[in-house]
Amino acid sequence: MSERSGQELYERIPAKIYDDAQAAVVQVAGEIAAAIRERQASGGKFVLGLATGSTPVPLYRELIRIHREEGLSFANVISFNLDEYFPIDDRHPESYHRFMREQLFDHIDMPDEQINIPKGDVPREEVFDACKEYEDAIVAAGGIDIQILGIGRTGHIGFNEPGSGPKSRTRLVTLDRLTRLDAARDFHGEHNVPRYAVTMGVGTIMDAKKVYLLAWGRSKAEVIRAAVEDDPVENLPASFLQAHENVSFILDTASGSELTRNKYPWLVGFPDWTPELARESVTHLSLKLGKPLLKLVDKDYQENGLSELVTEQGPAYGLNIRVFNEVQHTITGWPGGKPDADDTYRPERAVPAQKRVLVLSPEPQDDVLAMAGTLSRLVAHGHDVTVAYLTSGSLGVPDEEARWAADLMLEAGGGEIAIDVLRELDEKGDFDEDTADLRQFKSYIRRNEARASLERCGLEKERIRFLDLPFYEEGRYRRFVTGERDVVAVKELLQSVQPHQVYVTGEAADPSSVQAKSFSVFEQAISELADEAWLSDCYVWLYRSDGSEWEIHQIEMSVPCSPDEVKTKAQAIYQHRSQRSQVPAINETQSEAWEQAVARNRETSSLYDRLGLAEYEAIECFVRWTVSK
């Protein structure tokens, strides 16, 4: 028997990692197209299992492209979708019936009678029979040839939430709280998300001849690692796929980033010990052993798979000091640079002492969630700070908030507009989208929250810009498409400010998210401005606002917050009233945005403390971006 490679020792499911989702779907769509054509040649039907959600959207776009440009016909394809909310009307904007029509079926030549999706609108007492019929129909079609899956943050496949058994079949299930929270924005509030769903079972999925599970973005990275590397458990239904004989996980760099081969490459082979990898492994060792950096000894390295590193770059003490200094130098109370100071080892340059700073926030609130403390310092240190909100954030305002504001206006004699808004809210049907006027009104709510929030950070109203990028105004959550007009608006902003520093977020985020879309627009704008002189003297700092945080070895600038600054930060986030949970948490451990943000910053400071550096109240952190990152 040949010796198994280090990677195979950890990974129990074949996983392919592509540069990005687009590269991955080109490959998968090509394989699907080839399989459909092969079946056509022999005159047979091809049975395709389909998923919904944001993950397969680029795959469906690619299949549509192949249909249009390369003549792929779906006339011999029978499809079975994984799931549907329950109860839900087919016409509901979030129903999977409607989703599939809009994202795929309306654009290809698959006959309607060959489309199968679990029904979300049958009477409750008929659901059991409907599920049985669904299973029978799959068998009658000859079984699923290729099944496409996404994965939820709970580890669900289909809507098989934690607790689903490996042999479960198509049935009615209760949705997990996290799944409902993830869908809350699409449904304009958690309370509108259906509590149940009808889903193929894990056993039904396991019967498919070939399974592709797709995952993009770092929010899926941990659940992907657990599904691929840990023992299969009911708590993580995707892990049951380990027993499937023909399954592939198709990942982008971000969703594959937690796999041992990427996260701890020294455990699976002989890596190139770059300074960054050395920093990563040494900080990891220190935290794992609970020993400050400067107390690590050769034996600690040798016993933890790092003999090679310590032989090459040791002895331990020298290596410890080097990494200690590198981490130490990331800390600065001067995010805009310290005037008149030697900046050789500082994250930011001293000159010019007063910088033009541009903070880009995809939606109102991203900015303060990640960097209210840093923002306050930049303002206090006299820099020329501009905050620009790329999108209006209007889709994130629940109707209740709009009604509250319109009622208030009416009572204060606000007249026409308030009356119009209230009428629109009254007339709005269950399946209706907000009209342009209502969206506009909601965007004013967010503008005012943003102004109140930034006031806490000391920023004057005149320093705030609202770009209302068209991709957001014309789209809906998870289905945004960016274009030239977005790029032009961001380019104009950059040109008018000509910043020395830009703060931006969205790199490696879920590609369908507002953050990721905003980042891609920014990236495009920067690349088109490459020849501008000011750009050669501009540092771009990345922050994170999506609930994740940079890892300690990645951080290039850490800005400590005093206890008072932490209070200011919480107050700044608190001003985003429409983003507070609409359902108060009683007897639940759910926490609000400001609590989560502060907890994350405290966790970062605790990591510095555990490594043996100074102990701060909280730390906000950033990574410097260069085009290649």
Contacting residue, 58, 87, 120, 158, with ligand F6R by CB under 6 A: 158
Stretch that binds ligand F6R, among 31-39, 150-158, 421-429, 598-606 (CB under 6 A): 150-158
**Residue 500 belongs to what H/E stretch?**
none
157 contributes a contact to ligand F6R by CB under 6 A: yes
Q: Shortest Cβ distance from residue 157 to ligand F6R (Å)?
A: 6
Contacting residue, 55, 320, 545, 578, with ligand F6R by CB under 6 A: 55
Closest CA to 500 of 341, 346, 329, 354: 354
- The footprint of ligand F6R on residues 69-88 (CB under 6 A) is 82-83
Closest CA to 388 of 375, 401, 377, 399: 375
Rounded Cα gap, residues 54 and 479, in angstroms: 7
Rounded Cα gap, residues 542 and 550, in angstroms: 10
Q: Shortest Cβ distance from residue 501 to ligand F6R (Å)?
A: 33
Q: Where are the alpha helices (DSSP H) in 474-626?
A: 484-497, 514-528, 563-574, 593-610
Stretch that binds ligand F6R, among 12-20, 41-49, 144-152, 608-616 (CB under 6 A): 144-152
Contacting residue, 152, 362, 373, 398, with ligand F6R by CB under 6 A: 152
Contacting residue, 159, 441, 480, 594, with ligand F6R by CB under 6 A: 159
28 contributes a contact to ligand F6R by CB under 6 A: no
156 contributes a contact to ligand F6R by CB under 6 A: yes
Map residues 107-136 to x or -, x wherever contact with ligand F6R holds by CB under 6 A.
------------------------------
168 contributes a contact to ligand F6R by CB under 6 A: no
- Alpha carbon of 129 to those of 133, 467, 572, 605: distances in Å? 6, 52, 53, 55
Yes or no: say if 351 and 490 are a contact pair by the CB < 8 Å rule.
no
- The number of CA neighbours under 13 Å toward the Cβ of 369 is 23
| Set 94, 161, 258, 449: catalytic member | 161
Stretch that binds ligand F6R, among 10-18, 130-138, 153-161, 285-293 (CB under 6 A): 153-161
Rounded to the nearest 5°, which phi and psi values hold at 477?
Answer: -50, 140
Whether 133 is a known active-site residue: answer: no
DSSP letter at 231 equals P
Q: Shortest Cβ distance from residue 386 to ligand F6R (Å)?
A: 33
What is residue 144's three-state secondary structure?
A: coil
Stretch that binds ligand F6R, among 65-73, 109-117, 151-159, 408-416 (CB under 6 A): 151-159
250 contributes a contact to ligand F6R by CB under 6 A: no
97: left (phi over 0), alpha (psi -120 to 50) or beta: alpha
- The number of CA neighbours under 13 Å toward the Cβ of 530 is 6
Q: Shortest Cβ distance from residue 369 to ligand F6R (Å)?
A: 21
Closest CA to 402 of 428, 373, 430: 428
53 contributes a contact to ligand F6R by CB under 6 A: yes
Task: Report the residue closest to ligand F6R, judged by CB.
Answer: 150
- The footprint of ligand F6R on residues 498-557 (CB under 6 A) is none
- Alpha carbon of 176 to those of 155, 179, 275, 512, 589: distances in Å? 11, 5, 42, 22, 15
224 contributes a contact to ligand F6R by CB under 6 A: no
**Looking at beta carbons only, is 152 or 364 nearer to ligand F6R?**
152
52 contributes a contact to ligand F6R by CB under 6 A: yes
Rounded Cα gap, residues 233 and 252, in angstroms: 25
Q: Catalytic residue numbers?
A: 161
The residues of the shown chain that bind ligand F6R, judged by CB under 6 A, are 51-55, 82-83, 150-152, 156-159
